[in-house]
Amino acid sequence: MNKRLLLIISVLLVFTMIFSACQNTDTGKPSEEETIKIGWIGGLTGDFAPWGTCESNAANLIAEQTNANGGILGRKVEIISYDTRGDAAESVNAVKRLITQDKVIAVLGPNTSGQAMSITSVLNEHKVPNIATVATNPTVTVQTDGTVNPYNFRICFIDPYQGAVAAGYAADRLGYTKGAVLYDVSSDASQAFSEYFQQTFIEKGGEIVAVEGFKGGDVDFRPQLSKIKEANPEVILFPYNYKDVALSANQARELGITATLMGGDGWPSEVLMEMAGEAIEGSFIVNHLDIADPVVKEFTEQYVEKYDIKPEINAYLVHDAFKLLEAAIIDANSFDTVKITESLTKVTVEGLTGTIRLSEEDHNPIGKQAAIQEIVNKEYVFKERYSPY
């Protein structure tokens, strides 16, 4: 064989390799040797770090367990994580990198609504699905005009539902008739939670005697709490995250407020127990699961064994998000992002937070009950599964 012929064959081989690689990039399907890359985004630094770190750790743990059991459709799984610092703009940058550079087939997280809403246009452009974990604002998956975001999904229930659950439990189970609300006016999630708490509490025969607001970043809640104290409520809703809950709860007790405090899935954190202590004893929380459930306990023990720390609620939600994605990939029998997206509303999984099946109409879990927990001796004690409807 002469040198000219060898050169021609070599050139043809190079072009064949390049063409194959381009085909692989265009379809989003990994080659036989490649791992399946799944993205994760969330806050690993800043106020959301306790949740984000836990969620990222859990995603990696689940991927390891999946790989030990043969992977998904015979392929190994790799989690690629980016820190968004809890920032919407950084979330957009992270998702762009995950899709265009890392070639992920889906994105798990984030754990806040603002971040989840910010990435919608990027997901739509590249046709890559996202399963948010603790992004509870309704507009994450459905726009204000009723249009469903085609590539946005979530594993958690939404803020209006949390508000209705909290109010229903306060009225139906605890027998309270006088309620008050302190909420974060700069948070859409807090506002929605507050609105539906008030609406449901009134529908159930209760009276809202005070509604006060603050702006995220405030540290002194005494002016608002003093007004609430004058109204003498039996229960006060704090629909915001653990850091502000700790500050406001401590100040409420210092002012002599003895009313029962209630909140949602922004509360649960070991950090809250450290910061609030006795101030939140006897409070009730709308949460996603029963920590004492045997299946949940098994995963908790696995997490503690690996990371030597108790998991936050995010660990269980990202577990269910991963399992839903895995089921969709298997149902689609493909790593094509559009086919996976189509299968996300076709599959049902038994998750740690309940039975998960997503609605085609709004991409939210269908009929998912909330878990009511009471804080007793600095522990989250499960009370019951509850729905206000």
30 lies in a domain? no
Q: Which long-range contacts (CB under 8 A, 24 or more apart) does 356-363 make?
A: 356/155, 356/320, 356/323, 356/324, 358/153, 358/324, 361/148, 362/138, 362/141, 362/142, 362/148, 363/141, 363/142, 363/148, 363/149, 363/152, 363/153, 363/154
Distance CA 211, CA 306 (A): 44
Residues 120 and 169 in one domain: no
Structural domain including 76 reads: 36-157+292-358
Whether residue 309 is found in the same domain as residue 253: no
Pair (141, 164) in one structural domain = no
Say if residue 174 is in the same domain as residue 270. yes
Note whether 111 and 170 are same-domain residues. no
Q: Which two tokens stand for residue 318?
A: 């990202």
Instruction: Name the burial class of residue 355, with classes exposed (0-12), middle (13-18) and buried (19+) by CB atoms within 10 angstroms of its CB.
Output: middle
Provide the pairing of β-strand 235-237 with 178-184.
parallel
Domain membership of residue 6 (yes or no) is: no
What pLDDT was estimated at residue 34?
84
In a domain, 29, yes or no: no
Rg of the chain over Cα atoms, rounded to whole angstroms, equals 23
Same domain membership, residue 250 and residue 129: no
Task: Please tell me the distance from the alpha carbon of residue 381 to that of residue 282, in angstroms, as a whole number.
Answer: 10
Instruction: Say whether both 251 and 105 belong to one domain.
Output: no
Confidence (pLDDT) at 75: 97
Q: What is the DSSP secondary-structure string of 119-187?
A: THHHHHHHT--EEESS---GGGTB-TTS-B-TTEEESSPPHHHHHHHHHHIIIIIS---EEEEEEETT-
Same-domain pairing of 298 and 149: yes
Number of structural domains the chain divides into? 2
Residue 2 lies in a domain: no
Does residue 269 sit in the same domain as residue 380? Answer: yes
153 and 164 co-located in one domain: no
DSSP letter, residue 279: G
Check whether residue 167 and residue 141 sit in a common domain: no
In this structure, is residue 202 part of a structural domain?
yes
What pLDDT score was predicted for residue 28? 45
Q: Clarify whether residues 62 and 151 are in a common domain.
A: yes
CATH number at residue 282: 3.40.50.2300
Per-residue model confidence (pLDDT) at position 264: 94
Residue 23 lies in a domain: no
Distances (CA, A) of 117 to 69, 79, 349: 34, 22, 25
Cα angle 349-355-360, degrees, rounded to a multiple of 5: 75
Query: pLDDT in tens for each of the 389 residues of the chain?
Result: 454 544 444 544 444 444 444 443 333 444 546 899 999 999 999 888 988 999 999 999 999 999 999 999 999 999 999 999 999 999 999 999 999 999 999 999 998 888 999 999 999 999 999 999 989 889 999 999 999 999 999 999 888 899 999 999 999 999 999 999 999 999 888 998 999 999 999 999 999 999 999 999 999 999 999 999 999 999 999 999 999 999 999 999 999 999 999 999 889 887 899 999 899 999 999 999 888 888 899 999 999 999 999 998 899 999 999 999 999 999 999 999 999 999 999 999 999 998 999 999 999 999 888 999 999 998 889 999 888 87
* Residue 21 within any structural domain of the chain: no
